[in-house]
Amino acid sequence: MPDTPAAPVILGDEPGSFPHGVLAERHPAIIRQVREAFPYGPGQHRALDALLKSCTEGVIEPLPADAPDRDRWRTWGADTWTGRSWFEVPWLWSESYFYRRLLDAVAYFIPGPWAGIDPFRSFKRAELDSEETDEELAALDALEDLPPGERAGALLHGSLWGNRADLGFRLSAAGADAEETDRALVADDSDALWSLLPASGTGTLCLVADNAGRELVPDLLLIDHLLTEGRAARAVLHVKPHPYYVSDATTSDVVDALRRLTAAPGAAAGYGRRLWAAMADGRLEVRAHPFSCAPLPYADMPDDLRDEFAAAALTVVKGDLNYRRLVGDRMWPPTTPFQDVTGYFPGPVAALRTLKSDVITGLDADTEAALVAAEEQRWRTGGTHALVQVGGRPAGAHRR
């Protein structure tokens, strides 16, 4: 990955910046929400209060001596950044470590009654069980009558837009809604993506998931379509090994989403049953690699993960955080070619991302100028724009 002064690593030390706001405002709010979401005991309340003080006024502290992943975090930079302000270290690292320390505070890794209890589960389930999800699943019935190509496009847009997924499912997608979402695409390599997943596909699709709930469901629907239509012989869904970034998907969230689908009426239940069967016969596998929670770019991925992505016909990387890890969490000039910053990736890779942070690459100069003129910098972080980009190395071009 290029290392250039023109693309500095993003920190959180600039007041008024988006990263500073996340560290100074969002993280304290998350601590308060988690504290209120469960009937935690005095020890957890004290630990949450201590984390709140640490991340707003204090410095980064090491993991407990008996933390099961202490050595792993040391290799990920904990020794380098311990004792520094949360605002003065790379933002990607600071954010990731915050969520790791939050799990400590609620006793997630400590043997006992709270071990393994997801502190974000109630938020995820509320979204999954919402009326909006009911409406989106009901809209799947209308897709059944569409030609496979149109259905594939709708499902791809559903996965792309995440919690705006309903825009991709409605019959009106051929009209105003489709025009709206197309205008909001700052880059669209959809044709290149589909060329890597031909109708006679015999390869493996890797999909690196982002969020649970209403964002995970469209990812599963897309996987089902690719398997059912023969565009992939096998799929591997990469999720987080433990709770992360509030809404990031874990294996438990996959199970919840599949149960939600199978219990729904109409076409949704068919998707759920096919996915359930695909997991049973090995055509769909869930993977929870420790590196999925690393505070590092994918350029630093371990060899076993590199080999897995190299063997895939295509790796689809979902969401904003994964995009930051894919291209590097840097202030790239927006016209930096996406291929240049993903050329290290061991196989073909596609990014499906709704823009919710400052990082962006692969724009043409006219698109960038129009966005800046219309919205200054809000288009980078407001979730109103999205992209489909394809890069990485061609299939079979893997080298160490």
Same domain for 26 and 57, yes or no, is yes
How would you write the chain as a 3-class SS string? CCCCCCCCECECCCCCCHHHHHHHHHHHHHHHHHHHHCCCCHHHHHHHHHHHHHHHHCECCCCCCCCCCHHHHHHCCHHHHCCCECCCCEHHHHHHHHHHHHHHHCCCCCCCCCCCCCCCHHHHHHHHCCHHHHHHHHHHHHHCCCCHHHHHHHHHHHHHHHHHCHHHHCHHHHCHHHHHHHHCEEEECHHHHHHCCCCCCCCEEEEECCECCCCHHHHHHHHHHHHHCCCCCEEEEECECCCCCCCECEHHHHHHHHHHHHCCCCHHHHHHHHHHHHHHHCCEEEECCHHHHCCCCHHHCCHHHHHHHHHCCEEEEEHHHHHHHHHCCECCCCCCCHHHHHCCCCCEEEEEEECCCCCCCCCCHHHHHHHHHHHCCHHHHCCCCEEEEEEECCCCCCCC
**In-domain check, residue 182:** yes
Angle at Cα 227 formed by Cα 224 and Cα 231, nearest 5°? 125
pLDDT for 400 equals: 44
pLDDT for 6 equals: 67
pLDDT for 382 equals: 87
pLDDT for 63 equals: 96
Strand order in the sheet with 234-238: 185-188, 386-392, 348-354, 314-318, 204-208, 234-238, 284-287
**In-domain check, residue 7:** no
pLDDT for 181 equals: 58
pLDDT tens-digit series, residues 237-267: 999 999 999 999 999 999 999 999 999 999 9
Same domain for 172 and 105, yes or no, is no
pLDDT tens-digit series, residues 65-124: 999 999 999 999 999 999 999 999 999 999 999 999 999 999 999 999 999 999 999 999
Same domain for 22 and 60, yes or no, is yes
Same domain for 235 and 284, yes or no, is yes
Q: Which of these three, 119, 148, 180, is where a domain ends?
A: 119
Q: How many domains does the chain have?
A: 2
Question: For the whole model, what pTM was predicted?
Answer: 0.93
pLDDT for 394 equals: 82
- Residue 328: which CATH number? 3.40.50.10880
pLDDT for 204 equals: 97
The answer to whether 310 touches 346, Cβ cutoff 8 Å, is yes
Backbone angles phi, psi at 187, to 5 degrees: -155, 140
Same domain for 343 and 243, yes or no, is yes
Pairwise CA distance, residues 17 & 235, whole Å: 38
pLDDT tens-digit series, residues 26-38: 999 999 999 999 9
- 178 lies in which domain range? 126-392
Q: Which of these three, 93, 119, 145, is where a domain ends?
A: 119
**In-domain check, residue 319:** yes
